[in-house]
Amino acid sequence: MSEIVATRPLASLRLSPARLRAALPFVSLALMLLAIGWLNPRAISYLGFNLMLNLAVPVALATIAQLFVITVNDLDLSAGYFISFIACIAVTTLGDHPFLGGLAIIGSIAIYAAIGALIHLRDLPSIVVTLGMSFVWQGFALMVLPQPGGKAPEWLQGLMGIRIPFVPFPIVAVILIGLVGHIILMRTPYGAVLRGVGGNSAAVARAGWSVLSARILAFTAAGVFGVLSALSLVGLSTAADANIGAGYTLLAIAGVILGGGEFTGGRVSAPGAVAGAVTLTLASASLLSFMRIPPDWQIGANGLILVIVLAVRAAIGRRP
């Protein structure tokens, strides 16, 4: 009997494969920070984190936007150009004509919701629909701002330039983003329905929930977080162009997958996705620069990081 009791604490210390997979994004982030600190110790400071993580805020918001779409087993290939369009609205209209700018943004979110409804009602592949919408958003962005320029509203610049004592604002912001995403998806009935649609939409329908409403809600949430991503990006850059968010589509998808999300089954993690987004931001903006890797190679290096993490996740999944 005493031997059985003694072995229980040891058994409880063992991490299950599911817990190891959940911890992997945060381990990757910690390793990234250790590597940066080793290459450039001065970067691990209040000022260093402010400089390194500023762009992590819009990337994290774009990743959460993509997370909502992936939760219902869809994929949004228009996110980057949607962010570009909203950024163009922000630097041309939102400052001087806030009412018109606000209407344009609300209308854009409504279009996002309509896309979700169209995908469900016509049973269309989300990849094809959103790929087509990426050209639409890019065209809208070029119509609003044909040449790079514009000016971010001062209140938006001030918001993104907040200085918090002791803890850099970007760290606080990404933690809040992950917390909000987690609460919505894991602590509300709507989040449970969205995950249920991703896991078994037929069972959700039999339970009396509307799969159509769930998909509309997912795309609406994606539109809202996409708008927040664009506004934060404009607040940091103070200007915009029609391609300013083009790279955010793949970054957001990679952040979700790096954070433990899967394309099917409604298995997602908002904190993990944010950790994945921060990891990719640090890799491209800091680690690879400190390693003097040419910019042309940095995208490939980001892809290599994603492949390595996925390989480790697959190895964990095969553990008994």
| Residues 97-152 pLDDT 10s | 999 999 999 999 999 999 999 999 999 999 999 999 999 999 999 999 999 999 99
By residue count, the chain amounts to 320
Q: Which residues contact 306 (CB under 8 A, 6 or more apart)?
A: 254, 257, 258, 280
More confident residue, 9 or 124: 124
- Give the pair of three-digit tokens for residue 254: 């990679």
Residues 126, 74: contact at Cβ < 8 Å?
yes
- Domain boundary assignment for the chain: 2-316
Cα distances (Å, whole numbers) of residue 280 to 37, 53, 67, 86, 260 = 16, 11, 16, 23, 14
Q: Which residue type sits at 304?
A: L
Spatial separation of the C-alpha atoms in residues 43 and 46, rounded to whole Å: 8
Q: Which residues is 149 bridged to in the sheet?
A: 240
Supply the pTM of this predicted model.
0.91
Spatial separation of the C-alpha atoms in residues 224 and 219, rounded to whole Å: 9
Q: Where do we find the tokens 């269309």?
A: 124
Q: pLDDT value at position 175? A: 96
For Cα atoms 316, 319, 320, give the angle at the middle one, nearest 5 degrees: 155
Q: pLDDT value at position 31? A: 87
Q: Which of 73-77, 161-165, 174-178, 269-273 has the lowest mean pLDDT?
A: 161-165
Residues 137, 85: contact at Cβ < 8 Å?
yes
More confident residue, 42 or 286: 42
Local confidence band at 302 (pLDDT 50, 70, 90 cut-offs):
low
What is the pLDDT of the chain when averaged over all its residues? Answer: 88
* pLDDT at residue 1 tops 80: no
Q: Report the CATH fold assignment for 2-316.
A: ABC transporter involved in vitamin B12 uptake, BtuC (1.10.3470)
Buried b / exposed e over 16-53, threshold 16 CB at 10 Å, is eeeebbbbbbbebbeebbebbeeebeebeeeebbbebb
pLDDT digits (tens, 9 = 90+) for 186-221: 999 999 999 999 999 999 999 999 999 999 999 999
Q: pLDDT value at position 291? A: 60
Spatial separation of the C-alpha atoms in residues 237 and 279, rounded to whole Å: 21
Is residue 165 left, alpha or beta, with left meaning phi > 0 and alpha meaning psi from -120 to 50? beta
Of the ranges 36-40, 52-56, 58-62, 315-319, which is most confident? 58-62
Q: Where do we find the tokens 């779409």?
A: 69
Buried b / exposed e over 184-193, threshold 16 CB at 10 Å, is bbeeeeebeb
